[in-house]
Amino acid sequence: MEKLRVAVSGAFGRMGREVCRTVLDDDNLDLVGAFDSHGKENDIGLELGRRNLGIKIKELTPKSLEECRAKVLVDFTTPMSVLHNIDISLKSGVRPVVGTTGITHVDLTRISEWVDRSGLSAVIAPNFALGAVLMMTFSSIAVRYFPQAEIIEMHHDQKIDAPSGTALKTADMIASNRQEEPLEKDELLKLPGARGAVQDKIHIHSIRLNGLIAHQEVIFGGLGQTLTIRHDSYDRSSFMPGVILAVKKVPVIKGLVYGLENLLDLQI
């Protein structure tokens, strides 16, 4: 069986390097391109501590992407460049799998239009960790019985967007499954932002500290009890099974898929 040709955008970064390693170690995938604005002209194999692969890190352009003849582009870059990268990918006939966060609902509408126009497919996931997907799914079930919920998300201090895409996606899933609106009450905030940001009447608290990777807990309140659903990623390898799942499924799906849960058989 012919290997699926995969390129990685953001290959010089920590997540990008992990994706490159994982693609190289998969017998059904072929790493054919590495793109980044840093480390240009360095061989990605040597950057990973492996042999020279003859794959130079390049700037992502329509020409450089077409030259590597990739079928899928995995993007872990920044909120400032991700839309541009998706646009290049689709116009080049390459299906994007995107883990870059900071994508808004307005952005998703635009991307969906681009995908439909291209006749291709795309996967965008705020979180590729399978445990995080289950955490969000379990939270969407819990809210049926506990309408009060708050989200605390904790990430490394290099993450530039807040709240995280996972927290925003979790809030969406909770709000869409809530059967009872939480009671509103007056609050005296002695400092602005003391109660965090609010989406769909759900408070979201963001923490950025050195030593963290990606962690989130959803705390539900009920009469005389609380329920906490938490997920922790201690290593970037935790995201790789979900990334590879999306890479292998994106060629056979249609349109834009937002959220890894839509690629899983979650019968709950």
Q: Which residues are catalytic?
A: 155, 159
From the centroid of its chain, how far is CA 226?
Answer: 28
> Contact, 247 vs 96, CB < 8 A?
no
Candidates 184, 225, 226, 227; CA nearest to 202 is 184
Q: Which two tokens stand for residue 231?
A: 């997920």
Burial of residue 189, with CB atoms counted within 10 A of its CB: 0-12 exposed, 13-18 middle, 19 or more buried: exposed
What is the C-alpha to C-alpha distance for residues 223 and 237, in angstroms, rounded to an integer? 39
The Cα 6–Cα 68 span in angstroms is 9
Which token pair is 37? Answer: 């604005």
First to last CA, the chain: 34
Provide the token pair at 51.
Answer: 């042999």
- Closest listed residue to residue 178, CA positions, set 211, 150, 140: 140
Structure tokens at 44: 């990605």
Reference 72, options 105, 28, 102, 116; nearest CA is 28
